[in-house]
Chains A and B, each alone.
Chain A
């Protein structure tokens, strides 16, 4: 009964989503305040029923109710409880339900945390969220229903692919979805603004925290996925320009541009077209990503053509929302008059350049990802667009972006003095150049590595300059420097930290050029040199896991003076599926990592092994964490002032005009 109640809850959620779309719109367009005022309550109800449905499906997975087809196909009674729970979103139907749950959660969050919004804006935003919910609930119920039943129920489910039983993979989709779907809120805000025709700094102020939330989650989700690939694929690759990865990168690029654009709009009433355009674009790209991953079109155009129902459904949703928002866009073009004017060299101008570069990068990724599909569909010709293409095409954009990044926060609004800012950045430039030269002279390696380090140092030092000038430089002693740094708004800290984080990631990327790789056949009781380390392969041991046998190799890593780490890479053999899975042995040393994976145990006791020393590699993900933390700081600032809790003081009078 719980399962069927869950199914019914999902149907009710659809009915509520439709209500959530129509009733508030009737209120705002028909001028009835009470109808508009009902919006939050409906959004929260919809969330409750989606959550009930999700809970029911989770229950079915936990108790191994194989009369539910989704459970039978994706769960196994002997799996650990944690993977029964994460297995709910480890399959198509369940992951779409999670998508909708997160959508409804954001809808409810908008309802709960937007009491200060003008009533009509709030009602329209919630209505737009309802429209999105309607589309996806329809999709789930009609084309991807996780509550279909089997009678008679089989006694055992189909075992989950062991690779999917991994903690990294378990957390990755929810994080990514929180990012993807988070941008639905900015989309809903944009659509609501276009409907009401009110597109102004107040609107931007309310959009900004939601943009930040989505951006933080998406940043973490991408970093998480990249680290998962790094440790699980056995050779330490972390980014492949795979379409599925690109699907998450595209909204991130557009979302990053949106984040910057919203700030300009809030402060200067400028870049309205950009902001609305980016809000629509970011979420459209999230939808496109969902389409690419969920329709099967990537695996093969042919497979998609054989069973296109789901793909076509998502495609229709995609086209409906993109087309609808473009139509609104055209209709309200007159309301998008530029507000604050600015000179080309100014903070605004810098942010336009930023938007331009990020959008162009994003467009390149989109085209590179879709081109082979489109070409094959149109002409039947098959080509491959892989990492060499993306690296080549994106490098120039990235280069200009990194060079320009430290300038942005130092430029004045309206009209800036490029030369003065350049002088303030002299220290960063000198240090960056020095780092590049020193590394090139001492380390050698491919040219790109010292250049990358130089750029990273430029960016990191450049991010500090603003903070330094605002605090230490103007102060006499430590105490006043501390007081001054406290006085710096958190959003300024956040922005600079996020830039710094990008520099940190860049440093990690650049250092990959100095990585050491050895592909060798290793024998027990032998020592191998690996960059600055000595790796000795001590012995092999075997162990039985719950549903696999594991062969461990015990290795010790030492420097000149003694043992610094023990690494135990292993091979797991899943007999039921006759499948090997390599578990790399990874040890972080001085921000770099020793990374060893093994395969092919030979009769004489030797093994094929790949030994890597990856200097500074952990910075790639630490940088992403710093970026996310910067976002969080910024968010805490915005939230403090979101409620406008304190009433205006009379002193404001003299400040005016």
Chain B
């Protein structure tokens, strides 16, 4: 687990000396704006890493995007505007939560579809099961056979 992140980390470390994902210089002085920036950053992926958000990534590209986000927040842009800008620039690939469109219909529909299918399957199974008789008590022959079976040898 996390091996890929590791490889990613290792590769990045070779290129750049280790810097923390978010460095103190990047942090905005207004805590509310900073919190918004952090929340927003966790929605975008680092384009050169495996499954890391830009909030977690050490790559310089991630840092650039973080800086863009913070500048835009300070400039008074809304989250939606910033997201639109980044998607226009890097494509849907940058979004960690893919948008709902034709290509992802199946993805977003999957959980509901699975529950529906399973419920259908179980309803079917129940219908078949209904009407099955309850077990009658053992008859004499069975009792005798059981007694023979259970007799200590």
So, do A and B actually touch in the complex, CB under 8 Å?
A: yes
Chain A residues in the interface with B (C-beta under 8 A):
161, 163-164, 172, 176, 222, 225-226, 228-229, 233-235, 237, 240-245, 247-248, 273, 293, 298-299, 338, 341, 344, 352, 356, 359-360, 363-364, 367-368, 371, 375, 379, 381-389, 392-393, 396-397, 519-521, 571, 577-582, 597, 599-600, 608-610, 647-650, 652-653, 656-657
Kindly state whether residue B68 has any CB partner on chain A within 8 Å: no
Q: Establish whether residues A657 and B137, one from each chain, have CB atoms under 8 Å apart when the complex forms.
A: yes
Give B134-145 as 1s and 0s: 1 = Cβ < 8 Å from A's Cβ atoms.
100110001100
B115 CB contacts on chain A under 8 angstroms: 356, 360
Contact of A599 among B6, B20, B94, B125 (CB under 8 A): B20
Given A388-B43, A599-B18, A653-B147, also A381-B103 (CB < 8 A): yes
Are B143 and A367 neighbours in the complex by a CB distance under 8 Å?
no
Are B107 and A386 in touch, CB under 8 angstroms?
no
Q: Are A519 and B20 within 8 A (Cβ)?
A: yes
Closest 8 pairs (CB-CB, A-B): A386-B96, A580-B18, A225-B1, A388-B97, A657-B138, A521-B24, A229-B2, A245-B1
* A367 and B110 contact, CB distance less than 8 A: yes
B1: A residues at CB distance < 8 A: 172, 176, 222, 225-226, 228-229, 242, 244-245, 247-248
| Chain B residues within CB distance 8 Å of chain A | 1-7, 9-10, 13-14, 17-25, 27, 42-43, 45, 50-53, 56, 91-98, 103-104, 106-108, 110-111, 114-115, 118-119, 122, 125-126, 128-129, 132, 134, 137-138, 142-143, 146-147, 150-153
Residues of B within 8 A of A161 (CB): 6, 10
Contact B2 A240, beta carbon cutoff 8 Å? yes
Please state if B114 and A579 are interface contacts (CB–CB under 8 Å): no
With A176-B1, A235-B56, A656-B138 in contact, do A356 and B118 touch (Cβ < 8 Å)? yes
Smallest CB-CB separation from A249: which chain B residue?
B1
Q: Are B152's CB and A580's CB within 8 A? A: no
A608 with B51, Cβ < 8 A, contacts A237-B56, A383-B103, A384-B45 known: no
B53 surroundings in chain A (CB, below 8 A): 386-387
Contact status A582-B18, CB under 8 Å: yes
Given the complex of chains A and B, what is the CA–CA distance between A235 and B42 in angstroms? 14
Question: Which residues does chain B contribute within 8 Å of A519, judged by CB atoms?
Answer: 20, 22-24, 27
Our pick among B5, B96, B126 for the contact of A384 (Cβ within 8 Å) is B96
Closest to A648 in B: B150
- Are the C-beta atoms of A298 and B27 separated by less than 8 Å? no
CA distance A521 to B10 in the complex (A): 25
Contact B152 A384 (CB under 8 A): no
Shortest C-beta distance, B98 to chain A (Å), equals 5
How far apart sit A521 and B132, CA to CA, in the bound complex (Å)?
A: 73
Q: Determine whether the beta carbon of B5 is less than 8 Å from that of A393.
A: no
Q: List 7 A-B contacts (CB under 8 A).
A: A161-B6, A233-B2, A577-B14, A608-B19, A648-B150, A653-B146, A656-B138
In contact, B23 and A600 (Cβ under 8 angstroms): yes
Across the A-B interface, how many residue pairs have beta carbons closer than 8 Å?
Answer: 191
Chain A residue at minimal CB-CB distance from B6:
A163
Which residue of chain A has the shortest Cβ distance to B142 in the bound complex? A657
Supposing A360-B114, A393-B111 touch, asked if A341 and B2 sit within 8 A by C-beta, the answer is no
A235-B20, A367-B106, A371-B107 known; 13 new pairs, CB 8 Å cut-off, are: A240-B5, A245-B1, A298-B50, A338-B128, A356-B118, A363-B110, A364-B114, A379-B103, A389-B107, A519-B22, A578-B14, A609-B24, A657-B137
The residue that B103 contacts in the complex, of A375, A396, A597, with Cβ under 8 A, is: A375
In the complex, A222→B91 CA distance in Å?
A: 33
For the complex formed, measure the closest distance between the CB of B89 and the CB atoms of chain A, giving whole angstroms. Answer: 15
* Distance of A360 Cα from B43 Cα, bound (Å): 25
For the complex formed, measure the closest distance between the CB of B79 and the CB atoms of chain A, giving whole angstroms: 13
CA distance A126 to B17 in the complex (A): 53
Cross-chain contact A242 with B97 (CB below 8 angstroms): no
The distance in angstroms between the C-alpha atoms of A387 and B41, with both chains bound, is 12
The answer to whether A384 and B50 touch across the interface, beta carbons within 8 angstroms, is no
* Interface pair B110/A364, CB less than 8 Å apart: yes
Minimal beta-carbon separation of A365 from chain B (angstroms): 10
Within the complex, what minimum Cβ distance (angstroms) separates B144 from chain A? 11
Per the bound structure, the CA–CA distance linking A161 and B147 in Å amounts to 68
Residues on the A chain within 8 Å of B129, using CB: 338, 341
Shortest distance in angstroms between B11's beta carbon and chain A's nearest beta carbon? 10
Nearest CB on B from A277, distance (A): 10
**Chain B residue nearest to A230 in the complex (CB):** B2
Asked if residues B20 and A234 are in contact (CB atoms below 8 Å), the reply is yes
Contact of B97 among A235, A379, A386 (CB under 8 A): A386
Interface residue from B2, B93, B110 paired with A228 (Cβ < 8 Å): B2
Interface pair A580/B17, CB less than 8 Å apart:
yes
| A242 engages B51 (CB within 8 Å) | yes
Chain B residues with CB under 8 A of A225: 1-2
* CA A567 to CA B4, docked complex, whole Å: 29
- Using CB atoms, name the residue of chain B closest to A656: B146
Q: How far is the CA of A397 from the CA of B143 in the complex (A)?
A: 47
Specify which chain B residues have a CB less than 8 angstroms from the CB of A609 in the assembled complex: 24
Contacts A225-B2, A228-B2 hold; do A389 and B97 have CB atoms under 8 A apart?
Answer: yes
A505 to B107, CA, bound (A): 28
In the bound complex, residues from chain A placing their C-beta under 8 Å from that of B126 are 344
Q: Which residues of A contact B19 (CB under 8 A)?
A: 599-600, 608
Q: Which residues of chain B have C-beta atoms less than 8 A from A299's C-beta?
A: 4, 7, 50
Q: What is the CB-to-nearest-CB distance from B153 to chain A, in angstroms, rounded to a whole number?
A: 8
